[in-house]
Amino acid sequence: SCEDTGTSIVFKPDLGIFTHITEFEFEQIDTRLKETSFLNAGLKIEITDNRSEDPHVSTHHYEGGLSEYVTQINSGREILHAEVIHITGEKEIEKGDVSVELALQWSNAFSESIRCYTNIIRNKDGGTHMSGLRTALTSCLNSYAKKRNMLKGDALSGDDVREGLAAIVSVKHPDPSFSSQTKDKLVSSEVTGIVQTVVYEKLGDFFEENPSVAKTIIEKALLASKARKAAQKARELTRRKGVLEGGGLPGKLADCQSRDPSECEVYLVEGDSAGGSAKTGRDRRIQAILPLRGKILNVERQKHNLVKVFQNQEIQTMIRALGAGVGNNPEDEGSFDTSKLRYSKIIIMTDADIDGAHIRTLMLTFLWRFMRPAILEGHVYIAQPPLFQLSKGRVSRYAFSDEERDSIMEDLKGDNPNAKIGVQRYKGLGEMNPEQLWTTTMDPENRTMLRVTVKDAEESDRMFEILMGEDVPDRRAFIERYAKEVTNLDI
């Protein structure tokens, strides 16, 4: 029968080469196969994980292809036009045909989400297809807006026209060139012109046929332009006051003695009380302490009011202490530059309660929105203060989880199940004296820290929008969806 035909391929990684592989991550493989299904409209892919008694099966089948891919990226966002703009084109070169396929849709988001592929391989650093798309978008929108007298001042910038854009660019090339063996960036020079021509012509045609959609997209870009200029004024205002310059350090910063950034670290500490203990208990040679009072501003809700962001006292203090500028656009003067960081480690240290978690999230939101390279390049850490101190006589031990507390308690009881064990639950860093704080949380030889890493920048961006933004229904839906998976609840 037909069910008995076909080809079966079995492979295993060569552990002599892939030495870091201990087991396969289902989610990572599933995500890759999902992308492949999106990039090949109509292709059905099924993955089964048989490693447990209850096999995990995931099936991907998308007739809409790239358009459906963009729709998924924009799920939860307020889209500006219902129809996904689908563009295809082809051009013959010496080695064969180069085909181009794109899907584009704008939403009310403040960032762009563009994913690039060559021969179904993700190019996470973009490349010449990305350059062609960006140039075409800027030219096309400016040309359309100018012809209809929609521009009242300067031309729209590339950042303006791409704000809120979700796009997939897929190029099929007979002999592509990449910047490295990992194929993270396409460098085939001819692709720039091919993508640029296809997008400019086809998008222009779409705008002519759908003027209301074009008007909505350009109005979004004009708002982005207005916000960008306001942000530049806000940055210039704060720069004049010395806030964005590293020369004048904030008075509350207890700096370290070393001037070698590679060995220096700064603790962003919740509260003056804990900051005092940290200042006393630290290694003054390499550890700086910056106490922050209360909850900093939620910058996710102030994207179009950067004057308020830069006027916030705690945010000003962080900018000055780190000394590396602010802003994620490298083309802007004074934008964040990791090479200027005064510390190689930025360590967020907050109380081990719900308020501490909230303050930590607010700090991460600020760093993601205004100092993103610090996170992407691995400079940001989360301190892990203990949750419990267990005492028996003169013996004291610390636990960092409920499970560790129970294990230590059994260990301290030994052969006497009725032994009295004192248990102190730390709610705040200020409850520990300087020596305890150093021993448990700050001593490089003994401490535990979590490095903040990013697997998918676009998904992280979306999470900040949902969890820290102003859209309450989306946040409620997210909480309801994942509430059953919560294992650590502080109420």
CA proximity to 169, closest of 142, 202, 139? 202
Please give, one letter per residue, the 3-state secondary structure of 143-159.
HHHHHCCCCCCCCCCHH
Cβ pair 80, 106 in contact under 8 A: yes
Spot the catalytic one: 68, 125, 263, 355.
355
CA proximity to 270, closest of 291, 301, 297? 291
Q: Which two tokens stand for residue 481?
A: 């969806």
Tell me if residue 271 falls in helix, strand or coil: coil
| Catalytic residue flag (residue 270) | yes
Spot the catalytic one: 160, 270, 314, 474.
270
Which residues 6+ apart lie within 8 Å of 427 measured at CB? Answer: 351, 352, 353
Spot the catalytic one: 160, 300, 314, 351.
351
Q: Which two tokens stand for residue 432?
A: 């520990």
Q: What dihedral do alpha carbons 357, 359, 363, 364 form, nearest 10°?
A: 20
Q: Give ∠ CA 216-235-256 in degrees, rounded to 5.
A: 135
Exposure on the CB side of residue 196, measured as CA atoms within 13 A: 14
Q: Which two tokens stand for residue 123?
A: 């190019």
Whole-number Å distance between alpha carbons of 73 and 114? 10
Tell me if residue 169 falls in helix, strand or coil: strand
Cβ pair 163, 220 in contact under 8 A: yes
Cβ pair 144, 161 in contact under 8 A: no
Which residues 6+ apart lie within 8 Å of 360 measured at CB? Answer: 348, 350, 382
Q: Side chain identity at 121, as an amino acid letter?
A: I
Q: What is the DSSP letter of 178?
A: B
| Catalytic residue flag (residue 351) | yes
Strand order of the sheet with strand 113-118?
Answer: 85-93, 96-106, 165-172, 113-118, 121-122
Q: Which two tokens stand for residue 141?
A: 């929108």
Query: Hey, which residues does 122 pair with through a beta bridge?
Result: 117
Cβ pair 441, 447 in contact under 8 A: yes
Q: What is the DSSP letter of 297?
A: P
Kind of pairing between the strands at 265-270 and 287-292 = parallel
Exposure on the CB side of residue 306, measured as CA atoms within 13 A: 18
Tell me if residue 92 falls in helix, strand or coil: strand
| Catalytic residue flag (residue 415) | no
Tell me if residue 223 falls in helix, strand or coil: helix
Q: Give ∠ CA 403-408-412 in degrees, rounded to 5.
A: 155
Cβ pair 173, 191 in contact under 8 A: yes
User: Catalytic residues, which ones?
Assistant: 270, 351, 353, 355
